[in-house]
Amino acid sequence: QVQLVESGGGSVQAGGSLRLSCAASRVINRNYYMGWFRQVPGKEREGLAAMDIYGTTTYADSVKGRFTISQDNAKNTLYLQMNSLEPDDTGMYYCAAAQITGRIGAAWWLSPVTYPYWGQGTQVTVSS
């Protein structure tokens, strides 16, 4: 089991940037698929970016080219660099982990059902 703690959320104007961090309680490199998700009230949790155990990344179309997922293996920390933020990016952001060996279909990388471990979330608010 792994515990995840997000930080770095806040309020920013449209066009600004934020970097979210997700500190893991154990080694995640080559052991866990990691993902970032966003949820707004009344909507389903949306997968934004994910990284597999080989370091391959994938992004939702809505954030492709603006968000970057990365990992610091020495710190067991996952990051989400968010640039060119838009008001529609407002929401609660969660990181998630799944201990999966080998490869899974790409369609599962951004699906919340793939991930059993979740952080508590960090709020991002983007004003116009």
Provide DSSP, 9-59.
Answer: -EEEETT--EEEEEEESS--TTT-EEEEEEE-TTS--EEEEEE-TTS-EEE
pLDDT digits (tens, 9 = 90+) for 35-75: 999 999 999 999 999 999 999 999 999 999 999 999 999 99
| Local confidence band at 106 (pLDDT 50, 70, 90 cut-offs) | confident
What are the φ/ψ torsions at residue 98 (nearest 5 degrees)? -140, 125
Percent of the chain with pLDDT over 70: 100
pLDDT at residue number 118: 98
| Local confidence band at 30 (pLDDT 50, 70, 90 cut-offs) | confident
> Within the chain, how many helices (H) and strands (E) appear?
0, 11
